[in-house]
Structure 1
């Protein structure tokens, strides 16, 4: 009888205390939970809980202009901003050099040529590689998007549209190469130097047009399949070969963009074998306009296949001009 308590005590001494067992169980569960958590975090960027890749998130866009208390700086002076997009165009003496918001639109000074215009400019690898570019109505990636310089395509290989065949039909995909572009000082320019302010219905009048750096010796008739059919070519002196167009159409409103589909009231293409580096003047006769109202008369250069000639830089004004004439 004396040995029984001793054996019982010995057995009890070999068992771990209950609180120690509980601590061991909790420790095991904690380690297991940590492993599961790490595994889920490592897979979160690739798979979701249904075993499918997660939906792509949009790339960060330029911040909207913030509303703040009135500035104490001089009127018209843009407030300093640390964001990628500034909040105004600046002043005439000190215009903005970074992208800014203007009445709900994003404006890019210098068309993105100035340093710092785009948020990610010059900082490769700092964008979000797992985002999907967001586009506006024109399909242009938002400012700061690392994919802003990735083209949608450079030919018609991936287009679902029928190949353009040189005739004036659409929708089509034009596979003709852009062709040759000259030096900036040799890019074409054009100006309407004389036009009437008003004319009577059916009254004949003239437009005087001055062109520079446009050799008017190349014209593939659009009605015969020459539209967008030929690349642009330069003369031996580096000048664009082509012609220019003149057209007048009647405006139905001075507050909204006109319908582009109707045929204009007047249209001609001028190819006279003249033109060169020095500006000259051509007179274009309009036989008259049959409708009262406001006429928009436009003149624009074209290469041999009717496209507006390319400019070397994005901030060069293309060769075109427009006047409005009252038809009474």
Structure 2
């Protein structure tokens, strides 16, 4: 009897201990479940677009802004679906790392889209691509953005177009062909004091037919080291480029015979003389170049002109509209 009571007491104690263990386990499971509701979320920097967005780029910019939000949403979903997987650095290596690369590429595409029809902005893609983890959950699940007005500079002036997107002409291919649309951007423009200037400083008043003569041409703020051969597809394919604030290019000289001095001449005839000067000289300080003309075969009034060109043969842009372009012309009587 005594032994039986002892056994019953032990059985009760064992059952009681098991019951406590189950109860404690239940409490432990309840605490873990509450903690799991605080799933970490991704928090990313604000992408601020403070420049004007050209109309041609608006759709592409909007698509990439929406993609930034989608990327964060997908990262948060993956955090939920992969809980308990990997080690301590799983989220950083498998989620935040790839998200950073995606955001960098997306922000860079926004910069490129704007830069096709306006100065390319620096949105700080490297600085804004990295995201952090909010361990308490509830972090930003969207990609907040600050977007500037969509009107491009000069948009209130009734601009007809600023790209070839609306042109019905075929694209220019770098060769000397008309009825084409040139999509090459203008490029860099110097400040007014550094804009290119040119002057014909010496020329004869009259010469005989087929008599050789010289012209003296002075240039300022023109580095004569860029000349893309137009006959080889280098026409209108390079944007203007500055070096130390000075345009890089060359200058042309041509002489044509005038049928009349009272009306503008036809623009299409090939000139009697033409040469391009690219001698790797020139710069901020004015200098002079001697142009050798072998002679003009026709009697009459000749117009000899010199004009600066950038690498793609365009007269360099000026800061202001009331500045005289880098060009000059003289008339020579041919007997």
Report the TM range for the smaller structure's normalisation.
0.5 to 0.7
Q: Distance in 2 between matches of 1:259 and 1:176?
A: 27
> Is residue 2:286 matched to residue 1:264?
no
Q: Tell me the C-alpha RMSD between the 2 structures.
A: 1.3
Task: Say if 2:233 is the partner of 1:225.
Answer: yes
Q: Secondary structure at the match of 1:297?
A: strand
How far off its partner does 1:148 sit?
A: 7.4
Q: Distance in 1 between matches of 2:180 and 2:290?
A: 35
User: 2:324 corresponds to which residue?
Assistant: 317
Pick one of 173, 181, 196 that aligns with 1:188: 196
Matches of 1:159 and 1:147, distance apart in 2: 18
Aligned mate of 2:210, from 196, 202, 207: 202
CA distance in 2: counterparts of 1:188 and 1:165, whole angstroms: 27
User: How far has the Cα of 1:186 moved from its partner?
Assistant: 0.1
What is the match of residue 292 of structure 1?
299
Q: TM-score with structure 1 length normalisation?
A: 0.55
1:78 matched to which residue of 2?
none
Distance in 1, matches of 2:156 and 2:221, equals: 33
The higher relative CO (CA closer than 8 Å, separation ≥ 6) is in 2
Aligned 1:98-247 pairs, distance under 5 A: 149-235=157-243, 237-247=244-254
Shift of residue 147 of structure 1? 8.9
CA displacement 1:274-313 (0-9 Å, x = unmatched) = 0010000000000000000000000000000000000000
Please give the TM-score of this superposition, normalised by the length of structure 2. Answer: 0.54
Alpha-carbon distance in 2 for matches of 1:297, 1:168: 22
Pairs aligned (count): 182
- Distance in 1 between residues matched to 2:233 and 2:155, nearest whole Å: 37
Q: Aligned runs of 1:11-26 on 2, under 5 Å? A: none
Structure having the larger proportion of residues in helix = 2
Quick one: distance in 1 between partners of 2:327 and 2:174? Answer: 23
5+ residue gaps, structure 2, are 1-153
C-alpha distance in 1 between matches for 2:175 and 2:157: 32
State whether structure 2 residue 314 is matched by structure 1 residue 307. Answer: yes
| Whole-angstrom distance in 1 between the partners of 2:169 and 2:155 | 25
* Counterpart secondary structure, 1:157: helix
